Structure 1
Amino acid sequence: MSNRGNTMAPDTITSCHILWSTQSGRAKACARRAARILREQTHIQLLNGMGCPFDDVSFVKFVPLVPPSSLLIMFVSTTGDGEHCDSIKQTWKALLQKSLSAFEQPIPTFALFCLGDRAYGPQFCAAGRKLAVRLLQLGMKSACEVGYGDDNTPNGGVFWDLDVWLEGQLLPICPKKPVVNAYEELSTIPIPYRVHTGEEPKQPSNGIDEWRQDRFFQSYREYFSQSCPISAYEYNSLTQRIDSEGKLGDKTPLLGTITVNERITTVDWEQDTRHIRISIHSDESVLVDKDTIDVMTGECASKLPYQAGDVASILPFNSEKVVAQFLAVLPDTLSTLVDTPIRIESDDELMGNQYTKWPQLCTLRGWLTYCADIQSLPEREDLRALSRYCSPSHGASKEQAEKLSSLSETSQSALYADYILREKRSWADVLYDFESLRSSDSKLTLEALLMLLPRMRPREFSIASSPTADQRRTHDNVPVAEHATSGSFSVELCVAIVEGTTRLGRQYHGLCSNFLSRLIPSEVGRPQVVLWIRPGSFTKLPIGIDSSHSFETPILCVGAGTGVAPMRSLLLERNAVWKHAHRSITRQDQRDKNASNPEDNILVFGCRSQSADYYYKNEWETLQHDGMMRLLPAFSRDQVAKVYVQKVLAEADGRNLISSHILDRSGGVYIAGGPKMARAVREEIVKALTPKVGDEKRANRLLAQLQRAGKFSVEAWS
């Protein structure tokens, strides 16, 4: 998107506001870097410090109040199939109101940096591009060219693209000031935390994790609540979902117990994939919302605890081994406090959006286990911040401080990529490599660690189970009166354990997948998992059944690898709904074409090997045998020429399946897996529809119409 002609003169900008929308934290990290560079290199006043999320301000009311000499700098990520992140949805909804007219002049100009992944094809940075178009429609002007950050850009991904945009577009329109120091002095950085150390050691746990112990539970619970996804469902104390008409979800997390943790790939296969069942039970400390409960039946207005296609957001914990490795590279002044209770006080005025509000009461070991993401890869800004804490008495202090600082510069992006990204060096690795950070008189205090380390963020997994099937199983096995007070339901996940080795032989693993793989099935009621549930990409699943015992809307599901998880949820849900509506039909009738039509539920499933990673094979074959679905598998490595789901889909039924399903039967299409696969499948769909509807433009327009109606959805992830 070109905006030439709108460039502002450097002397006209006096201040700026920074806003971001993010799902995983990268846009916020970009805002952090931009704020630091603007603060060091320009005379611009940052009116909201490092910035804040879009939905922390009433954007439509906020813009007219900002003086025209101020600049709105925005960092916008794209999630899903070209969608906006949760942290901007309220703003985006307000901007799309038909009653909203152009902003009255004079208004500030904006600078926009979009984040995305080019593997998504036409949907690359779609959310940011849509926002730019809407702001221009409302009369705002862009101060410089829109920036685009690609996850797959060499030597740093979006951060490389960010530096190019900052140096080539944003900084030239800002009033410069001479750079006196390469980085801020430690003494000038305000410390927002004050730590009080208890004298008494922590009491024996008796096998209870610290976050569940009575002394610490409330503190951890309040801390965990900050990680709640914006769109998470609200539940009462019986874990019954409450329809809240767009109200943000209850911040209180759900607590879960692992009841099944089974490997579903062969033992000798390269990938360890698990089928995990989590029993979710009530947190007795949550207040009951009595108005939502029917006292006669024990049911609430929203009978299902979640919907097919929803997402579980799970908060991972670090392992004892990882925590021990991190403690081993801390200065002795810190590691000796490992099990001593500490009380953390926060200065709200200094906190802003830059620092985390940690639990008020915990131990250092507990904080490292449940709160700090010590396995994450330090960002370039983190290395710059670490450079300030090198011990002045260490022989290599100056050299190491300069090295850490230089790794944050654009000119050293390739070196940063080699050192951190490609070799996946964590915080512990960096502390080990730079000895001046951990010497006896190191400046690395507990307060500094609280400022430096990022918080643990939830990881998201598509739910692979059917809420209707789970509810019926629960009700069939538990008396209604008891079920009304037991407050439990289950979700199932299909999780690929992330493990690997770098080029130099360094082993690494995924934080949350590894955390889940370690959990041993336990008795229900012993919390092991902290989680939330939020709507996914397939929330408009059609389940209506017509008079001929067929679904009103047939669906075509395409899932590769663990992308089959939401597909399993959709298909099992439709199967459960059909059976519930036709309980009087005999098993023989179910096999009759007049009773169920396998074309109503089509699954195209792709994996590497039929004998090694064919997830849920027995389930699919049973459903197909019973006439409840049609299965089209694709095994990429079982023959010389690789076969992928897009090829199987395109060639099915003499290359007529796609057009027949969408045009003749008005069917819905749901796709889940990697972005390259999703893009390839979408291209095949467009290719199949083009000769039927006239041209490619009409085919894309048809898919857009289906997407708005909830009959075409994509859930892809890198």
Structure 2
Amino acid sequence: MSAFTSCQILWSTQSGRAKACARRTARILKEETTLNVNDVGSSFDDASQPFLDLVANLPSDTFLLLFVSTTGDGEHCDSIRDTWKALLQKSLPKNLLQGKQFALYCLGDRAYGPQFCAGGRKLAVRLLQLGMERYCDVGYGDDNTPNGGVFRDLDDWTTQHLLTKLTSKSEDSEAVTEAAESPFEITVGDEPVAPIVKDAWRDEIYKTSFQEYFTQSCPVTAYHYDSHTSRLSEAPVKIKTEPLLGKVVNNKRITAADWEQDTRHIEIRPESTQATGRSNGNTSTETLPYCAGDIATILPFNSDDEVKRFLSVLPESIQKVADNPLSIKIVESKWNNSFARWPSNCTLRYLLTYCADIHSLPEREDLRALSGLCSLEAEEGADQRSKLKSLSETSEAALFADYILREKRSWADVLYDFASLQAPGSKLTLEALLQLLPPIRPRDFSIASAPSQALLDASTPKDDDSFTLELCVAVVQGTTRLGRSYHGLCSEFLSRMVPTKEFSPLLQVWLRPGSFSRLPREIAESNFSIPVLCVGAGTGVAPMRGLLLERDALRSIAASKNGTPLTPDENDNILVFGCRKQQSDYYYKDEWRAMEQENRVRVLTAFSRDQVRKIYVQKVVKDADGGKLIVKHLLEKNGALYIAGGPRMARAVKEEVVEVLGDALTGGQKQATQLLNKLQRLGRFSIEAWS
């Protein structure tokens, strides 16, 4: 069997799934093998030392256990960016990592086609190039695998590959039990804290307790701003920045009142005392507060009703101190990244409202941890402990999928169903609760507005000089097969934001580069040097709207400076938009029609449900101009192509483009693929897709 006695765990994740896979695997290894596993490790870029140094100093009896997610169109996650740059150095010798071994589990979505698990696959190739050896076959997790997605695939890989290479514990070995100790030392104040009035919240709670905590959620690539919300062209490396505070100035539904989907146009104005990029009319991207196609990362909060419901299913001993002041200290560091760093001073109610993701679905490892907390004094305590443990097992993946995934059961639902967790004798203490609950994860939204538009409106009086972000948000809501209602945390949070004149710490946003940051901006006379074709379906129109409005603004600015009349060519800016029904969810149709009438944009549409035979954007892209649009745009005019929406749609559009170009090129589809790869390197072909 294996000569290795320990492993070093690293993960890269965007949404937390790779870390969750690491957590599950670490627990299984501790229970079933003789391997020494201390914790779930850390992200690649947050490891105790740079990756190359860590591997070089890896003991001979230790191998690397890696969990790598893929984000976007085959891209690496933020938490491995620095490591990946270091690994790509051409000066690295081919035998640099010789004698070291790694086991790798990749996470992705097969709907992305050739880009499935691309991040993990690229890492594996590079490690092999540098002399490392595979400890076992690489594992692949697909979001769409029945009964658990990547976690279902993880169990198969762990059982069939990873564990077969390791020494199993003997049958008479002592069972591994969860550590009784907690990483937290919590002191509860004697008297409840009076509710903070609205006007005092910002100074008494936000700045004193939560501001530092919220800063932890800052995306790695977020822009940095000065005190006046002017974007800094050179920001400190790897320094997390505080979020911008904002106010909603517009929030309106843009789907028909009787339509099944509530999609909203939301305008957010970050707090600012100074205009950005207005004073001299400079259109350089460095002087603008953000770039067309950028991402707004928003941190949502739980509603008061959801918090009340969650508190009601906790043990009475916890409920009665919900409003007492808490002092939370970390007393152990060996858990590393396996628990949340909560605010050091707050109340439980505030923590559940602003920090803990009680709305999320518990993972299988959470259910296993809860099983050990059931009260055996309760009549059904032993049975419920057994059921919770069973739900975490590989053999019961289908049961877990039915109970948690398909019925969208949150933490409150599970605590309600398993009443022995509330009964006298329950081990669900305040410390155990805070060790289990995950922190709220910020959500990403493509910005649907154009920063250069503000330069055209510079003469329009405003209450202040801050800039405005516009989002197109589909509110996630529905009913399960058993009639249980559910909603998305962040989309519902934004949908209930009422337009206000006041800035609020309740609306926090970071801005960061998106997939389309290299939008062609060069103008010759009054037209663009490079035409752009944008393909967006549903809310995928959001970044496309930002790109097209940006180019429209740049053209108007150039014409004004040169004193020349506008003679726009509609083929400079082309939009292919798809939705279900023209009268129900055709987002921004009045804007597109007005721009079409002036030849500022050409719009091609696909309304899938408006005729018997469904039509999608990929067919429109292929058939437009008698099937010649793609060839004219990409080959004859050297244009740019951008795609946004669901992964299946994005894959279908790309396949049609490759097929059409393949028919026109002597090298066929192979040459067509090479052309798209070249355009991608130049920033003239990009995909932004999300599930």
Cα distance change, pair 475–457 in 1 and its aligned pair in 2 (3 A): farther
| Contact 1:559–1:605 under 8 Å retained in 2 | yes
| Contact 1:333–1:440 under 8 Å retained in 2 | no
Residue matched to 1:18: 9
Residue matched to 1:321: 305
Structure 2 CA distance, aligned partners of 1:716 and 1:628? 26
Q: Deviations over 1:499-522 (max 9, x none)?
A: 111111111001100010111111
Pick from 221, 227, 244 the counterpart of residue 237 of structure 1. Answer: 227
Structure 2 CA distance, aligned partners of 1:107 and 1:219? 48
- Count of residues in correspondence between the two structures: 687
Residue matched to 1:645: 617
Residue matched to 1:274: 264
Residue matched to 2:658: 686
Structure 1 CA distance, aligned partners of 2:513 and 2:355? 25
Pick from 211, 216, 222 the counterpart of residue 226 of structure 1. Answer: 216
| Contact 1:243–1:301 under 8 Å retained in 2 | no
Shift of 1:244: 2.2
Cα distance change, pair 245–349 in 1 and its aligned pair in 2 (3 A): closer
TM-score, normalised with respect to structure 2: 0.96
1:217 aligns with 2:207: yes
Structure 1 CA distance, aligned partners of 2:173 and 2:496? 47
Cα distance change, pair 709–209 in 1 and its aligned pair in 2 (3 A): farther
| Contact 1:216–1:361 under 8 Å retained in 2 | no
Gaps of 5+ in 1: 1-9
Structure 2 CA distance, aligned partners of 1:227 and 1:354? 16
Structure 1 CA distance, aligned partners of 2:101 and 2:595? 57
Shift of 1:463: 0.5
| Contact 2:302–2:493 under 8 Å retained in 1 | yes
Where 2:368 maps in the other structure, the secondary structure is helix
Q: Deviations over 1:428-468 (max 9, x none)?
A: 00000101001133211111110011000001100000011
Where 2:55 maps in the other structure, the secondary structure is helix
| Contact 1:308–1:465 under 8 Å retained in 2 | yes
| Contact 1:205–1:213 under 8 Å retained in 2 | no
- Out of 216-225 and 611-620, give the one that drifted further: 216-225
Q: Deviations over 1:165-194 (max 9, x none)?
A: 0001111111221366997545x3320111
Shift of 1:475: 5.8
Q: Map of 1:432-447 to 2, 5 A cutoff? A: 432-447=416-431
Residue matched to 1:338: 322
Gaps of 5+ in 2: none
Q: How well do the aligned residues superpose, as a CA RMSD in angstroms?
A: 2.3
Cα distance change, pair 321–478 in 1 and its aligned pair in 2 (3 A): closer
1:534 aligns with 2:506: no
Shift of 1:351: 4.1
Structure 1 CA distance, aligned partners of 2:173 and 2:582? 60
Letter of the 2:638 partner, please give it: S
| Contact 1:603–1:632 under 8 Å retained in 2 | yes
Residue matched to 1:717: 690
Shift of 1:658: 0.5
Residue matched to 1:420: 404
Q: Deviations over 1:357-398 (max 9, x none)?
A: 101111111111111100101000000001111112111111
Residue matched to 2:36: 45
Q: Map of 1:48-447 to 2, 5 A cutoff? A: 49-57=39-47, 58-104=50-96, 106-178=98-170, 184-185=176-177, 188-208=179-199, 210=201, 212-244=202-234, 247-248=237-238, 250-282=240-272, 302-447=286-431
Letter of the 1:399 partner, please give it: D
Where 1:46 maps in the other structure, the secondary structure is coil
Letter of the 1:167 partner, please give it: T
Structure 1 CA distance, aligned partners of 2:54 and 2:459? 50
Residue matched to 1:669: 641
- Out of 99-108 and 331-340, give the one that drifted further: 99-108
Q: Deviations over 1:596-652 (max 9, x none)?
A: 111010000001111111100011111111111111011111111111101111100
| Contact 1:375–1:511 under 8 Å retained in 2 | yes
Cα distance change, pair 249–670 in 1 and its aligned pair in 2 (3 A): farther
Shift of 1:294: 11
- Out of 149-158 and 525-534, give the one that drifted further: 525-534
Letter of the 1:715 partner, please give it: E
Cα distance change, pair 343–475 in 1 and its aligned pair in 2 (3 A): farther
Residue matched to 1:577: 554
Structure 1 CA distance, aligned partners of 2:378 and 2:91? 64
Cα distance change, pair 181–30 in 1 and its aligned pair in 2 (3 A): farther
1:660 aligns with 2:638: no
Where 2:533 maps in the other structure, the secondary structure is strand
TM-score, normalised with respect to structure 1: 0.92
Where 1:582 maps in the other structure, the secondary structure is helix
Letter of the 1:564 partner, please give it: V
Where 2:585 maps in the other structure, the secondary structure is coil
Where 1:343 maps in the other structure, the secondary structure is strand
1:708 aligns with 2:650: no
